[in-house]
Amino acid sequence: MWNTLLTKENVQDLPSKQWIDTARVYTNNLYQNIQPTNIDNITQDIQQQAYHEIDAVLSREDFKKSAQAFNNFLTLPQEIKDSFVAKINAKKWFDVWYIQKSREQWDTDNKQYFHYNLYTEELLADTIARYPEAQTFIHEARKIYLTSIQQIAQLLKTREQKYPGIYKLFIQQQENPHFFIRFLSYDINPIQDTNKDRSAKWHYDRWSMTIAHAESHPWLRIGSDAQSMQQVIHQDGKAKYFLSGYFPHLIIENYPKTLTAKQRKLLAQWNEQAVIQELQKEMPLWRHDVIQEETVTGLQKRRAIVAFFDAVHEEELSYDKTHTPK
């Protein structure tokens, strides 16, 4: 699916302006160049195990190289990393940024992460140009962004079979898609008194769809409730696609005709939460966390690369809604 202008080999070499312009043209032309897959297979997998496996496109070595570039970026002084911030939309938690979180500051996790998308090089070009570590990392991130655009475009075109027009809710000709790649680095600490340590608190992702690309330690767990949480193992050559917290809201707001009579009655009574609970039966939002299940020696990091996708003009869920059982 890679065309002659954008291949994983040459996207890293393009100047920022040329990369942005070419990537936009490529994205706008994707719809006519991709074929949908089987919607029934996707629906069945999500109902049974919370995710659907898709081809990874990039190799394990590609992801390792990108993760190492991120690691090198993280060696920059803290004040430099903190300068990588640009606000995109005041109504959405959708920024280009580096951020650090700490349990000592009342955050739920100890981690650092960076969001990359087309806005990154548009809004932070001068900052990136000052630091070779940032340049290398950003150029590595391009190929994962491009791969993710391909994958979600095919998944959206597949969902058109049930939700006509959903593709254009996410990918519009005149706007950058509201997608980003999150590069994550969690602290891994030696376990003292228990067999397990929670590296990331359970949650639903606040956007509409997620693709989990790669992780350095297989500690991701998915389940419908606290009792059903099961570890999920990444397979080489595969990525995991699942629905995120906003997807039922998106369906309610844009596809009311697809709701059952019972769901429409509940919606008429202004009981959206009850409708969401009904929708969960056919499109479950399985919550997930990261649990350290083995003892490690010394200070280590768990790294992950995840893509998040949101409709361009939709609002998003609050922290409370993504961390409260449904």
Specify the CATH number of the domain 11-245+285-322: 2.60.120.330
Predicted local confidence at residue 206, as pLDDT: 78
| pLDDT level of residue 322 (50, 70, 90 thresholds) | very low
- 123 pLDDT more than 70: yes
Segment 270-295 mean pLDDT: 77
Segment 198-215 mean pLDDT: 80
- 30 pLDDT more than 50: yes
Predicted local confidence at residue 9, as pLDDT: 64
Q: Specify the pTM.
A: 0.85
Segment 10-19 mean pLDDT: 83
Segment 252-273 mean pLDDT: 86
Q: Please give the Cα distance from 19 to 121 (Å, whole number).
A: 9
Out of 24-28, 68-72, 86-90, 263-267, the most confident range is 68-72
- 158 pLDDT more than 90: yes
CA distances from 124 to 71, 94, 98, 158 (A): 19, 15, 11, 34
Average pLDDT, the chain: 81
Identify the weakest region by mean pLDDT among 137-151, 177-191, 294-308: 294-308
Predicted local confidence at residue 294, as pLDDT: 62
Predicted local confidence at residue 315, as pLDDT: 55
Q: Name which of 73, 87, 68, 66 is nearest 131 in CA terms.
A: 73
| pLDDT level of residue 155 (50, 70, 90 thresholds) | very high
Q: What are phi and psi of 126, to 5 degrees?
A: -65, -40
Q: Do 126 and 16 contact (CB within 8 A), yes or no?
A: no
* More reliable by pLDDT, 192 or 273: 273
Residue 258's CB is within 10 A of a number of other CB atoms, namely 14
Residue 18's CB is within 10 A of a number of other CB atoms, namely 11
**Three-state DSSP state, 263:** helix
Predicted local confidence at residue 253, as pLDDT: 87
Predicted local confidence at residue 318, as pLDDT: 47
- 88 pLDDT more than 60: yes
- 186 pLDDT more than 70: yes
Segment 296-304 mean pLDDT: 68
Out of 100-114, 122-136, 170-184, the most confident range is 122-136
pLDDT tens readout for residues 33-83 = 889 999 999 989 988 888 899 998 888 899 999 999 999 999 999 999 999
Predicted local confidence at residue 42, as pLDDT: 92
